[in-house]
Structure 1
Amino acid sequence: MPQIYSKIIGTGSALPQRATDNQALADELGLRGIQTSDEWIRTRTGIEKRYLAERGLTTTQLAERAAKSALWDAGVDPSEIDLIIVATTTPDMIFPSTACQLQKLLGCSKGAAFDLQAVCAGFIYALTNADALIRTGVYKKAIVVGVDIMSRIVDWDDRSTCVLFGDGAGAVILEASNEPGILAARLSVDGTLDENVLGCKAFINGGEVHGDPYVRMDGQHVFRMAVSSMSESAKAVLSDAGLSVEDIDCYVPHQANLRIMQKVAQKIGIDENKMVVTVNRHGNTSAASVPLALDNAARHNDIKKNDIVLMQAVGAGMAWGSVLVKWTKENNQ
């Protein structure tokens, strides 16, 4: 029986309508006595603006927009989809899952749908799982979505975190293939680096919210851990695929902080000219970060057919992972 692989045949993304640049954000925070500036944010993060969800916009709606964009790009009808995985930390409700709600909105009628939670590393985890499920031969076409509305769980009185995050969604369509598209993947976690490093500790009990409902982060610890984990993960996944860093044509890292991205690229040995950068426009969109950047690169033809693409992310847990892809999709015209 021939080996089954998976390949990416379409990408899509979605953003809220409202873009907030650093100066506008600094002005809003200043009204509450919190001092920051465009220069302070830009220097420390590389972020210039982010998109923030308007009241009434849901995680499922953003996921739907990104999924439909990816379906259109791939030329795939929703009836062909038999697997939906949604990576999100900010679902609209505890259950049913965002993936089940997305299936209903798209009009898909077969297969499986479930959510996956690995925070900023969520899309990498979801993509790896979708690839593994397609390789079983049971599933033929999958939608993998990374989506988060982080603005609803950040503390807008905490300058160290509120300036970092934005909202958005990104999606890919995976299809079973006789030739490898996804070449190798590595997932890792260190549970000892728990919610005290990066987390949101709230939970519901007896109809009440207990614990701190906002994102808290030890920024210096996260910086060090992100650089070391992603650089080591990149070396491991390249070794798994029998490739070297020189074979990488396009690098799509988690768009959390430009300084982290540059440091990781330097440690891996990747030319920064090969690195996709959208953090300046989107901020850290958590699970949406990598697929948003990937879609942006694909639509601007920064990724060409047969290119080797390295995608990476790191998030709370601490969880991290890398996926190495051979791009089989034709360029956009």
Structure 2
Amino acid sequence: MNTMNIGIIGTGCYVPSQIIENSDFAKHDFFKADGSPIPQPNAVIIEKFKSITGIGERRYAKNHQNTSDLAFFAAEKAIADANIDKEELDYIIFAHNFGDVPFGKSQADTVPTLATRVKHHLEIKNPKCVAYDILFGCPGWIEGVIQANAFIKSGIAKKCLVIGAEALSRVVDQNDRDSMIYSDGAGAAIIAETDDEGAILAHNSATYANGEANYLFFGPSYRESSQNDTRYIKMYGRKIYEFALTHVPQGMKDCLDSAGIPIEQVKKVIIHQANEKMDEAIVKRFYKLYALDMPAGIMPMSIEKLGNSSVATIPTLFDMVKRGKLENHSIKKGDVVIFASVGAGMNVNAMVYRY
């Protein structure tokens, strides 16, 4: 008896063309959270930043583009890659955190939803194609895939478009050195029933909000002389680092164990591109839970060139690996991949996927 699997049948991403190098931050005035100037010269701040995060440059959307525009471009590519009729989509699930924030503005625009805007741009006429947004921090795209999988498994949907997109350049405090981490981008995937071996094998999610809820938050500029009341994305980096190393490896192990897949069969770990050192430490701890060393080449990284685009990092990275656009990394049919993410909430999730 043939059983139908639920898998990713098409992917696409959009990487903005505007490159912002670390040197572009050389003339910024950086302050601590208490409003006092950071005493080190910017050259030292930037060098230390690069050594910790691995980021050398990042991408920003052009001034006339917004988050929903980036998402539309990625969605078009995913639909074409899946070779489906867009009118067959039952759901458009759009993961983001800040809505559309026009360049030079400070107010987020989420009416209509960004998913609805993408549906409009795609010119989908079918009213039964339901479009909605989810806010789940950086793990939002994985969570959207988990929801799409549940819809299809329950029989209420056959094909879903899941998007992760963000324009974090619009919500950063230029006087906060953490602003150098963030970037813009979009990734998308079509989730559907498939009769080949590709399949979502297991997933899990968790929200830690007993003291951890505000590790990422919206707050005022670190420059006390700033006269506006605009709020920006802020984080307690050390707390997030410690939280991620405590919870993400175990979450990945629980997911892999529930899939019944030996760790030796894992070919790639597609992890949220948050911080190079943190990601490497997470994956090393994951393998240590199996009394193993992290294999060479197991963890593709895009953060050096693309920065941290939140919900967009994982679908973008997966699309790049799938298309052979990341040097020394590739996947083939039958390979087992683990997706994992951590972010505002604090939320953690993981998914085991057979390509």
TM over 0.5: yes
Indicate conservation of the 8 Å contact 1:148/1:288, yes or no.
yes
Q: 1:318 aligns with which of 336, 343, 346?
A: 346
Residue 294 in 1 paired to residue 309 in 2?
no
Correspondence 1:18 to 2:34 = no
Give 3-state SS (helix, strand or coil) of 2:318's partner. Answer: helix
**Once the 2 structures are TM-superposed, how far is the Cα of residue 54 of structure 1 from its aligned partner?**
2.1
User: 2: CA distance between counterparts of 1:48 and 1:188?
Assistant: 32
The answer on 1:249 being equivalent to 2:267 is yes
Q: Secondary structure at the match of 2:26?
A: helix
Alignment CA distance shift 1:140-1:196 (3 Å): closer
Query: Which whole-Å CA distance do the structure 2 matches of 1:211 and 1:305 have between them?
Result: 52
**1:90 Cα deviation after fit:** 2.0
SS at match of 2:201: strand
- Residues 70-108 of structure 1, C-alpha deviation per residue, up to 9 Å, x if partnerless? 112111221221111000012122321111111111122
Listed as ranges, the matches of 1:194-213 within 5 Å are 194-200=212-218, 213=231
Q: Which runs of 5+ in 2 are unaligned?
A: 32-36, 101-108, 221-227, 288-293
Provide closer, same or farther for how the CA distance between residues 180 and 296 of structure 1 changes in structure 2, counting only shifts above 3 A. Answer: closer
RMSD of the TM alignment (CA)? 2.2
Return the alpha-carbon distance in structure 2 between the equivalents of residues 78 and 172 of structure 1.
13
Alignment of 1:24-173 (within 5 A): 24=24, 26-29=25-28, 35-37=41-43, 38-92=46-100, 93-108=109-124, 109=126, 110-159=128-177, 161-173=178-190
For residue 216 of structure 1, the aligned residue among 234, 239, 249 is 234
Tell me if the contact between 1:121 and 1:287 (Cα under 8 Å) persists in the aligned partners: yes
Which residue identity is paired with 1:136? S
Q: Which shows bigger deviation, 170-179 or 143-152?
A: 170-179
Q: 1:229 to 1:31 in 2, by over 3 A?
A: closer
1:277 paired to 2:301: yes
List 4+ stretches of structure 1 deviating above 4 A: 1-4, 30-35
Do the aligned residues in 1 keep the contact of 2:341 with 2:349 (CA within 8 Å)? yes
- Tell me the residue number matched to 1:307: 335
* Distance across 2 between alignment mates of 1:11 and 1:59: 18
Deviations 1:181-205 (A, max 9, x none): 1000101011124453111269xxx
CA 1:144–1:193 in 2, change beyond 3 Å: closer, same or farther? farther
> Greater Rg, structure 1 or structure 2?
2
Aligned length in residues? 318
Q: Following the alignment from structure 2 to structure 1, what is the Cα–Cα distance between the partners of residues 153 and 219?
A: 36
Asked whether the 8 Å contact 2:20–2:57 carries over to 1, the reply is: yes
Structure 1, unmatched stretches of 5+, are 203-209, 328-333
Q: Distance in 2 between matches of 1:142 and 1:224?
A: 35
The 2-side partners of 1:55 and 1:243 are apart by 46
Q: Contact (CA 8 Å) 2:8, 2:198: kept in 1 or not?
A: no
Q: Is the 8 A contact 1:193 1:318 kept in 2?
A: no
How far, CA to CA, are the matches of 2:256 and 2:30 in structure 1? 49
Deviation at 1:326, TM superposition (A): 0.5
SS at match of 2:65: coil
TM-score of the two chains, using structure 1 as the length reference = 0.90
Task: Give distance in 2, aligned partners of 1:115 and 1:249.
Answer: 31
Structure 2 CA distance for aligned equivalents of residues 326 and 200 of structure 1: 37
Specify whether residues 211 and 303 from structure 1 end up closer, same or farther in structure 2 by C-alpha distance, changes over 3 A only: farther
> Which whole-Å CA distance do the structure 1 matches of 2:67 and 2:90 have between them?
21
Q: Percent identity?
A: 30
Residues 13 and 315, structure 2, Cα contact 8 Å, conserved in 1 = yes
The TM-score, its normalising length taken from structure 2, stands at: 0.84
For 2:285, which of 263, 267, 270 is the aligned residue? 267
* Deviation (angstroms), 1:36: 2.8
Distance in 1 (alpha carbons) for counterparts of 2:330 and 2:27: 36
Measured in 2, the distance between the counterparts of 1:211 and 1:190 equals: 29
Q: Closer, same or farther in 2 for the Cα pair 1:152/1:113, shift >3 Å? A: same
Q: Which residue of 1 aligns with 2:225?
A: none
CA shift in 2, pair 1:13/1:180, >3 Å: closer
Tell me how far 1:288 sits from its aligned partner.
Answer: 0.4
1:111: how far off?
A: 2.3
Distance 1:10 1:225, change over 3 A: same
Which residue in the other structure is 1:176 paired with? 193
How has the CA–CA distance of structure 1 residues 31 and 321 changed in structure 2, closer, same or farther, with 3 Å as cutoff?
A: closer
